[in-house]
Structure 1
């Protein structure tokens, strides 16, 4: 099951344009609020040159990349938590994702209206985060009502949960965000609530092509300063440029990006930022017909990683043959790698590293 990312933001900030570029699906776009009536869902391949090189070396035609599920959620507006605009039905869609990409408009364009009347990224962020916080308060209040009944029934742990919920409500009412105030243990206890302000987030600063070429951008600089203070990544991206790039073939794409002084697309960089933020690594498997990439959390033991491929591989795990992808390419094949002592046999305690090529031995 691929990780999921919700694309959020005010109307007319470029969310659907970015989504279209990501998925090459033409979701309905228009210059008016709420053009995304249902959340558009796209499964996006994670770009990885290592997969291509391994497939070429091993002579495998079939290459299966790891994937990210992107959900384009209708533009939120002030009052969404209380039903304004398209309201709570879209906040509910956000709850199901692993993390958020908040598209923030940093470009000036008279033909594209802004719901507040002027381009102010920090104000836009404040509006969205306020709505997410208000929705979380509602979730916490509802949970507290249930916990009170559990306390009366003398349910173990209920009093401790109530104290934690009181702390969360206090933080949110004071204008704070759960992800900024809670430690790892507290976040784990709150996980089942799917609080919106607990989710990891990246600010996607949507800039114009002209801004991309410019050496100075005060609006973007202000956003990056704000994001730095919050400990959040701010990724500059031109959604319109990415939409154009998405229509090109590989050779044309490289030439196009070169003209803008870029060595990779903004979407490629955004997906890499998602991986870094969620603490993910990629490992590779192979068989007679294919090479495949898989995403795992940093520090995942090899049997648990094998379970992503098939549960029988985890329960019947014996050992894993492991080699770094670059070492394998340098050797040219597995025979040479084994002769040089670079193909290692690892047990159940081994934690897979990013770029490991793995063959699992297991009892069926």
Structure 2
């Protein structure tokens, strides 16, 4: 299961966000390093498309896609040289697929640390860039020597040199405009900044009206990062309290009462999911309607393999229809009778929102 890590300074709201996403019991305390070892939980990826298909099929079960969430202990200035949780903190970040920065934008005299989200961002980015610089510098010395004898090492050396030049200036690699080839070449090093980022700007309960302003403040700071960064503003405390309400109608009523619509929590999970390059196809029937996760660009057989390896090995064909079209027709059988069901082979590239059934033989 793909995972994303919550990263930020102490008391930024990471553990509260983790609890809201996973229903976990991480300690959320107003002092540094309440989280020393990472908390790991699972968050459901909300998807109205699946809910509607389940209703259409009168499914007994509805199973949403899931992602793993890791609440990583607070980062402090100097982490790259061992301050705070130091190397332990950095090692935990290397194990996630995408990073969620939690940036504090609320004032609370009882909570230590800065309340400026840009100051939070500055410290986090510098520490991650410095940690990457150390990794790249060590490897660059090795590949430069090796490239003199082995020309196949030239491309790797050039990619490392590009990374070194940017990191030396304190620039995270997601801001550096790297080509896909360079990113791919650097991938085996699990660099902390060679991945996409979601930034959550955490405002106070009395400051909800400022969410668009604080969101824009941080977005403007990322204006050179292209589509590698997405920014979402929210009041984590309020979202966490709403998430604890089991009745969905009551939860919706409370969020709407504060002018928060469906809430930012669901939007954040969907954004993190897509940030990982993940997409969803669905299966639907009387027994269950289910969302299946696949990497963008996957073929039909690979998607079939998400259900079971035999489906991929013995793949014959896929029957495919877009979810909106299926809903409009009212049922799988109606879609077949109307001739709207497409038959796709091994080379078909699955699309987000496809509803599929597979034929296979092993």
Q: With structure 2 as the length reference, what TM-score do the two structures score?
A: 0.93
3-state SS of 2:306 partner: helix
Q: Is the 8 A contact 2:211 2:234 kept in 1?
A: no
3-state SS of 1:140 partner: helix
Q: Does 1:164 align with 2:159?
A: yes
| Change in 2 beyond 3 A, CA 1:353/1:267 | same
Q: Is the 8 A contact 2:215 2:232 kept in 1?
A: no
- Residue 188 of structure 1: which of 181, 184, 187 is its match? 184
What's 1:213 paired with? 209
| Change in 2 beyond 3 A, CA 1:290/1:220 | closer
3-state SS of 1:18 partner: helix
Q: For 1:144-155, what aligned pairs fall within 5 Å after superposition?
A: 144-147=140-143, 150-151=146-147, 154-155=149-150
* Aligned-residue offset at 1:235: 0.3
Q: Which moved more, 1:299-308 or 1:333-342?
A: 299-308
3-state SS of 1:197 partner: coil
* Aligned-residue offset at 1:287: 6.0
What's 1:65 paired with? 64
| Change in 2 beyond 3 A, CA 1:290/1:127 | same
Whole-Å Cα distance in 1 between the matches of residues 276 and 155 of structure 2? 28
Q: For 1:145-294, what aligned pairs fall within 5 Å after superposition?
A: 145-147=141-143, 150-151=146-147, 154-155=149-150, 157-181=152-176, 182-214=178-210, 217=213, 219-231=214-226, 232-248=229-245, 249-286=247-284, 289-294=287-292
* Aligned-residue offset at 1:151: 4.3
Q: Is the 8 A contact 2:54 2:285 kept in 1?
A: no
Whole-Å Cα distance in 2 between the matches of residues 288 and 322 of structure 1? 18
What's 1:336 paired with? 334
Structure 2 regions of 5+ residues with no counterpart? Answer: none
Q: Which moved more, 1:141-150 or 1:221-230?
A: 141-150
How many residue pairs get aligned? The number is: 358
3-state SS of 1:112 partner: coil
Whole-Å Cα distance in 1 between the matches of residues 142 and 182 of structure 2? 19
* Aligned-residue offset at 1:159: 3.2
Whole-Å Cα distance in 1 between the matches of residues 217 and 49 of structure 2? 36
Q: Which moved more, 1:296-305 or 1:317-326?
A: 296-305
* Aligned-residue offset at 1:34: 0.6
Q: Deviations over 1:295-347 (max 9, x none)?
A: 22333221121122222222221100111122222222222111111111111
What's 1:32 paired with? 31
4+ residue segments displaced more than 6 Å:
none
Whole-Å Cα distance in 2 between the matches of residues 299 and 204 of structure 1? 28
Whole-Å Cα distance in 2 between the matches of residues 110 and 68 of structure 1? 35
Q: Is the 8 A contact 1:14 1:239 kept in 2?
A: yes
Structure 1 regions of 5+ residues with no counterpart? Answer: none
Q: For 1:49-88, what aligned pairs fall within 5 Å after superposition?
A: 49-88=48-87
| Change in 2 beyond 3 A, CA 1:216/1:342 | closer
Q: Which moved more, 1:275-284 or 1:232-241?
A: 275-284
Q: With structure 1 as the length reference, what TM-score do the two structures score?
A: 0.92
What's 1:15 paired with? 14
| Change in 2 beyond 3 A, CA 1:290/1:68 | same
